Amino acid sequence: MSALRQRMREDMAIRNLSPGTQELYIYHVAAFARHFGQSPDQLGPEEVRRYQLYLVEQKGLSPSAINVAVCALRFLYRITLGQPWDIERIPLARREKKLPEVLSPEEVTRFFQAITRTKYRTLLITAYAAGLRVSEVTRLRVADIDSRRMTIRVQQGKGRKDRYVMLSPRLLTLLRDYWRAYRPSDWLFPDGHEQPVARQTVRRVCKKAWQASGLRKPVTPHTLRHCFATHLLEAGTDLRTLQVLLGHRSLTTTARYTHVAIPNIQQTRSPLDSLPMAPVARP
């Protein structure tokens, strides 16, 4: 391991960046260095700009993917190398604002029915029932399920924050049936080596179930989180409560679900209905 890479790892550890973020940053800095065949400490703003153009024009990466690379380079030059030049000279890509895909309750049921293995059906139902990210549901421990308080403890979610979410009575029944069948001792959903089941495995299971369900809308583990938020909002849950349940830092992030909550839209009266209109003349 190079001295620069080691120092960057230490800087990220000092700032308590998650292991996943650390690996992504190291990956993108290494890719940047390979692209130019030089150590990053020998490169500067002009090379960064050319690399961003390469990611856009030749690699065709999405704005979100490009921004991960940009954040990695910003960290490297601002923190590890302590470069005096304005970090804003490494601009972030403007992301498209797209509304999330949301299934109806009937479509969610249809999707769950297409999952053949009890373990993965229970895992994905848990993700929907509590609005969990795939990284959160795969790392649940048996001890995180509190049937007395009817809560689930989410440890070190996004942003390295703990939070509590509700434990549905119906989900508790499913989890008890699952526990009697599989007897997990530590991780709630372990792989075959007593480690948490891999996120990629869950994504593959989700894709297979989606194909088997015949649903036209795409379904990923994160789709279930979108469904959780939208269905709660449609049922009357206030935004502040929803923000806490989802673990969002900003209420603005949570507020985007108001754009996909159909009953809220359907119950809003169009100004057309208030116009004193004369009958439309027939042609």
- For residue 246, being part of any structural domain is answered with yes
Active site residue 217: no
Q: Are residues 201 and 134 in contact, defined by beta-carbon separation less than 8 angstroms?
A: no
Does 80 share its domain with 113? no
| Residue 16, pLDDT score | 86
Sheet with 151-157: list strands edge to edge. 145-146, 151-157, 161-166
Does 240 share its domain with 152? yes
3-state secondary structure of 143: helix
* Cα distance from N-terminal residue to C-terminal residue, the chain: 80
Q: Cα 239–242–244 angle (5° rounding)? A: 115
Does 233 share its domain with 158? yes
Handedness of CA 131, 133, 138, 142 (dihedral sign): negative
Catalytic residue among 139, 225, 226, 231: 225
Active site residue 141: no
| Residue 221, pLDDT score | 94
Active site residue 193: no
CATH number at residue 80: 1.10.150.130
| Residue 277, pLDDT score | 60
Does 75 share its domain with 136? no
What single-letter amino acid sits at 117? Answer: R
Which residues have CB under 8 Å from 203's CB, separation 6+?
Answer: 134, 220, 221
Does 147 share its domain with 222? yes
Residue 232: how many other CB atoms lie within 10 Å = 19
- For residue 97, being part of any structural domain is answered with no
Distances (CA, A) of 165 to 5, 84, 142, 247, 258: 38, 44, 15, 9, 21
Catalytic residue among 158, 207, 208, 256: 158
| Domain range for 34 | 3-89
Does 110 share its domain with 85? no
Does 59 share its domain with 115? no
- For residue 45, being part of any structural domain is answered with yes
Does 76 share its domain with 170? no
- For residue 24, being part of any structural domain is answered with yes
**Placement of tokens 């153009």 in the chain:** 53
3-state secondary structure of 190: strand
Q: Distance between CA 30 and CA 233 in Å, rounded?
A: 43
| Residue 215, pLDDT score | 95
- For residue 257, being part of any structural domain is answered with yes
CATH number at residue 111: 1.10.443.10
Does 46 share its domain with 117? no
Catalytic residue among 28, 74, 133, 163: 133
E strand intervals along 77-138? none
Does 119 share its domain with 222? yes
Active site residue 182: no
Q: How does DSSP assign 148-184, residue by residue?
A: TTTEEEEEEETTTEEEEEE--HHHHHHHHHHHHHH--
Q: Does the predicted TM-score (pTM) go above 0.75?
A: no
| Residue 207, pLDDT score | 95
| Residue 269, pLDDT score | 63
- For residue 212, being part of any structural domain is answered with yes
Q: Distance between CA 170 and CA 103 in Å, rounded?
A: 20
Catalytic residue among 89, 199, 222, 256: 222
| Residue 260, pLDDT score | 63
Active site residue 256: no
- For residue 277, being part of any structural domain is answered with no
- For residue 279, being part of any structural domain is answered with no
Q: Which of 194, 192, 203, 184 is nearest to 134 (CA)?
A: 203
| Residue 264, pLDDT score | 56
Distances (CA, A) of 200 to 187, 204, 206, 240: 17, 6, 10, 31
Does 130 share its domain with 224? yes
Q: Are residues 10 and 2 in contact, defined by beta-carbon separation less than 8 angstroms?
A: no
Active site residue 133: yes
For the chain of 283 residues, list the mean pLDDT of each consecutive stretch of 10. Answer: 88 88 92 94 90 90 88 93 79 71 91 95 95 93 94 79 89 95 94 89 96 94 91 84 84 70 58 60 56
| Residue 138, pLDDT score | 94
Q: Distance between CA 123 and CA 129 in Å, rounded?
A: 10
Does 200 share its domain with 227? yes
Based on the structure, what is the number of domains in the chain?
2
